[in-house]
Amino acid sequence: MARVYNFSAGPATLPLEVLQEAQAEFVDFKGTGMSLIEASHRGKAYDAVHEEAVANISKLAGLTDDYAVAFMTGGASQQFAQIPMNLLGENDTADHVNTGAWTKKAIAEAKLQRSIKVIADVSKESPLRMPREDEFKVNKDAVYLHLCSNETIAGTQLKKFPKVDVPIVADMSSDMFSRPFDIRQFGAIYAGAQKNMGPAGVTIVIMRKDLAARVSEKVPKIFRYTTHIENNSLYNTPPTFSIYIVMLVTRWIMKNGGLAGIEKMNAAKAAKIYDAIDASSFYRSPVANDSRSFMNITFRLPSEELEAQFVAEAKKLKMDGLKGHRDVGGIRASIYNAFPMEGIDALVQFMTDFEKKNG
Ligand SMILES: *Cc1c(COP(=O)(O)O)cnc(C)c1O
């Protein structure tokens, strides 16, 4: 089997055992005589999958009865519009922080609907960083504070969520379930599955029920969180196959020590690459030390020519997807939960060899 080390930012690498299990039961799901993707979303076989996915997510996130899980579509991008559409009445406002490309899109979508405030903007700073605790000066009238926990393109990650007086709404698309967190700080969390949780097509939403209930009767039913929560994400046909893989991935996380166990693995993986960058004057991190992402590691070489050569030579050694995002250039190694340690060791070895030849 010729699997590569897949450093892609998303869709991204998934646990091999999850892919193999899905493959083994793809044509005949657990003796039903049909594939799960051919099965009714209201049938017994799919129902068990759906319930386990919800239960696993609830357990990993430590949800209490006042929170609900919903499986939605349209990606995190749809949430940028749907959060203000549901949570903000005509005269309501929210606070946002701008930390890069994704939060900028969230701000633009919110501004189309309501007058929201940007209370901190670090998107143009160098070195790249996340705001410090004292920079989250929330307004008293804000219904929520919107932030992104991990900027996938810049390679920055918020290491500690701020203690603020309003619920946090977090775009966790690229670091969902990569570390423990305290759910009580959050009014809502959302994540497109394709970075860290499964295939594209499903967005995982966790929301406090009282916030979902703020929705106006004028919002079309299909766009209301309450509709999806009340119908256990079965109001319309959900992306059943994507949810099935999310269920297998959450099972895999639990088997690997839950969020604490996964965080330990992620920290060890990221440290190896950052240590290699810091030990060299050839590689350079554009990110401040205290904001370095454990998920998307961005770095530069002395020239764009060398960066192109680095990506091309790595690809020949079965290390795929190392080219940085087109907006920022450079190198980006996305090493989500499922990315194996052997792939990290291969990259670090390659970095050493490449510097020796070209440094
Ligand atoms: C990828 C990504 C998005 C966009 O996700 P879609 O599912 O493509 O809409 C939003 N936010 C973050 C942090 C991301 O990494």
Active-site annotation holds for 171: yes
Query: The tokens of 211 are what?
Result: 């916030």
Active-site annotation holds for 318: no
Q: How far is the CA of 15 from the centre of ligand 1 (A)?
A: 20
Give 174's DSSP letter: T
Q: Which of 250, 249, 298 is nearest to 270 (CA)?
A: 298
Predicted TM-score (pTM) of the model is: 0.98
Choosing from 95, 175, 195, 252, the catalytic residue is 195
Per the DSSP assignment, residues forming a β-bridge with 266 are: none
- pLDDT tens digits along 91-112: 999 999 999 999 999 999 999 9
Nearest ligand 1 atom to alpha carbon 172? 13
- pLDDT tens digits along 281-301: 999 999 999 999 999 999 999
Query: The tokens of 258 are what?
Result: 């839950």
Which domains are seen in the chain, by residue range? 16-255 (3.40.640.10), 259-358 (3.90.1150.10)
What does the buried/exposed string (b/e) look like for 244-266 if buried means 16 or more CB atoms within 10 Å of the residue's CB?
bbbbbbbbbbeeeeebeebbebb
Mean pLDDT of each 10-residue bin along the chain, 359 residues long:
93 98 98 98 98 98 98 98 98 98 98 97 97 97 98 98 98 98 98 98 98 98 98 98 98 98 98 98 97 98 98 98 95 98 98 97
Q: Is 192 in the pocket of ligand 1 (CB under 6 A)?
A: yes
Active-site annotation holds for 102: yes
Cβ contact 67:54 at 8 Å: no
pLDDT score at 2: 84
